[in-house]
């Protein structure tokens, strides 16, 4: 990345907002975050430290609070926004002109939790920075080159014509992993991004060729409050027998399932690992089993496996989870180094392991800034 041009990276979550100013690839000049937006009392952090406790009605209110703490706003040259869904059209980062905003608004039904607040923050940033070009960096873009056999659902043609296909998510995190590893990325790798949201992505020679998330970020692995894969027939049965509306089903699968549902008490992996409760143990067991099972499936897509990369909050910090997943993959020649896994080492597999295992701290803000800087200034929308 350039060491001169400053980029404001904006990362909107369903109940969070991060702003980071980047001038180089090592670390941001400042990173601000508002959490618990729309969920009662929230917090504001600056470079990881809590600096205020406020209530944010929406992302606009959170942005206003963070803007008060953002220094040297006049020196920002570009703004890059994380946008979860780019659909089939947007396969790379793009400048946000009126046509792009209109297209992305049309994708709201595909990402109802993330797309609306992201677009609201884009529009608000136009008010704060009326002369600064803004870009969208997409979570789906890393998976844009998935082959038809990986992205096609076996559903009626009319459904597929309406856009029902696998898109994949966590692409910004995957791209940052690939960029960080550079020459250390092996030919056939699986990125296990484990956090509140979880996914596994098959990477062949630096390109994504399959992934566990699909039409929405609900498909795939067990997550904090998301179910992951469930037999569609079971969903139809529950909806019919319990008389649940589509909205109620959506809420249950996204907010009341996953680790929270399995444990009956918590969606926090740290708490579950410390608990002596049988249901907590089951939640961890199911979580690790499904992750390892996904690695096995993606090994088929890759034609073999050379490397596993753990990322995300759980992947980076939960050594016991990594150890459990590694043990389940022992039949594939994976051997964990116990001491390395329990340390801060980046390589945690044994020298005798057929598959190398690494741990990486992902920074989506850095990747947002990187891709925003790669866009040509000649194509920037006139303001």
Give tens-digit pLDDT for 102-113: 999 999 988 887
Judged by phi (left if over 0) then psi (alpha if -120 to 50, else beta), residue 170 lies in left
With a pLDDT cut of 90, the percent of the chain lying above it is: 90
Asked, colleague to colleague, whether 6-138 and 182-359 share their fold, the answer is: yes
CATH C-level class of 6-138:
alpha beta
Band of residue 91 on the pLDDT scale cut at 50, 70, 90: very high
* DSSP collapsed to 3 states, 131-196: CCCEEEEECCHHHCCCCHHHHCCCCCHHHHHCCCCCCCCCHHHHHHHHHHHHHHCCCEEEEEEECC
Band of residue 3 on the pLDDT scale cut at 50, 70, 90: very low
pLDDT at residue 2 tops 50 = no
Band of residue 75 on the pLDDT scale cut at 50, 70, 90: very high
307-311 and 188-194 beta bridge pairing: parallel
Which residues does the annotation mark as catalytic? 139
Give tens-digit pLDDT for 193-230: 999 999 999 999 999 999 999 999 999 999 999 999 99
pLDDT at residue 39 tops 90 = no
Number of H helices, E strands in the chain: 15, 13
The whole-model pTM stands at 0.93
CATH C-level class of 182-359:
alpha beta
Domain ranges of the chain: 6-138, 182-359
Band of residue 379 on the pLDDT scale cut at 50, 70, 90: confident
pLDDT at residue 351 tops 90 = yes
The torsion angle over the Cα atoms of residues 312, 314, 318 and 321, rounded to 10 degrees, is: -110
């Amino acid at each position: 990345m350039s060491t001169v041009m400053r980029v404001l990276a904006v990362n909107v979550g369903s109940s969070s907002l991060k702003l980071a100013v980047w001038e180089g690839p090592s670390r941001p000049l400042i990173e601000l975050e508002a959490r618990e937006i729309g969920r009662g009392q929230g917090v504001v952090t600056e470079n990881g430290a809590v600096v205020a406790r406020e209530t944010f009605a929406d992302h606009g209110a959170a942005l206003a609070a963070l803007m008060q703490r953002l220094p040297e706003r006049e020196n920002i040259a570009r703004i890059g926004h994380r946008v979860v869904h780019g659909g089939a059209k947007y396969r790379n980062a793009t400048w946000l002109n009126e046509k792009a905003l209109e297209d992305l608004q049309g994708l709201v039904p595909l990402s109802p939790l993330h797309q609306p607040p992201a677009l609201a923050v884009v529009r608000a940033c136009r008010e704060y920075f009326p002369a600064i070009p803004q870009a969208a960096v997409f979570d789906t873009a890393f998976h844009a080159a998935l082959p038809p056999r990986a992205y096609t659902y076996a559903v009626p043609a009319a459904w597929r014509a309406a856009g029902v296909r696998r898109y994949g998510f966590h692409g910004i995190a995957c791209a940052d992993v690939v960029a960080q590893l550079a020459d250390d990325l092996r030919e056939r790798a699986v990125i296990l991004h484990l956090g509140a949201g979880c996914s596994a992505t098959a990477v062949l020679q630096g390109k994504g060729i399959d992934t566990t998330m699909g039409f929405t970020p609900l498909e795939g692995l067990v997550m904090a409050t998301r179910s992951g894969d469930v037999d569609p027939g079971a969903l139809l049965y529950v909806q019919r027998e319990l008389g649940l509306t589509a909205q109620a089903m959506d809420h249950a699968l996204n907010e009341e399932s996953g680790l929270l549902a399995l444990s009956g008490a918590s969606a926090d992996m740290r708490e579950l690992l410390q608990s002596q409760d049988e249901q907590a143990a089951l939640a961890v067991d199911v979580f690790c089993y499904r992750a390892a099972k996904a690695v096995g499936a993606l090994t088929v897509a890759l034609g073999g496996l050379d490397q596993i990369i753990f990322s995300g909050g759980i992947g980076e910090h939960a050594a016991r989870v990594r150890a459990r997943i590694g043990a389940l993959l022992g039949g594939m020649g994976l051997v964990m180094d116990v001491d390395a896994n329990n340390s801060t080492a980046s390589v945690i597999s044994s020298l005798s392991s057929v598959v190398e295992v690494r741990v990486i701290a992902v920074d989506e803000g850095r990747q947002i800034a990187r891709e925003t800087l790669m866009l040509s200034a000649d194509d920037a929308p006139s303001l």
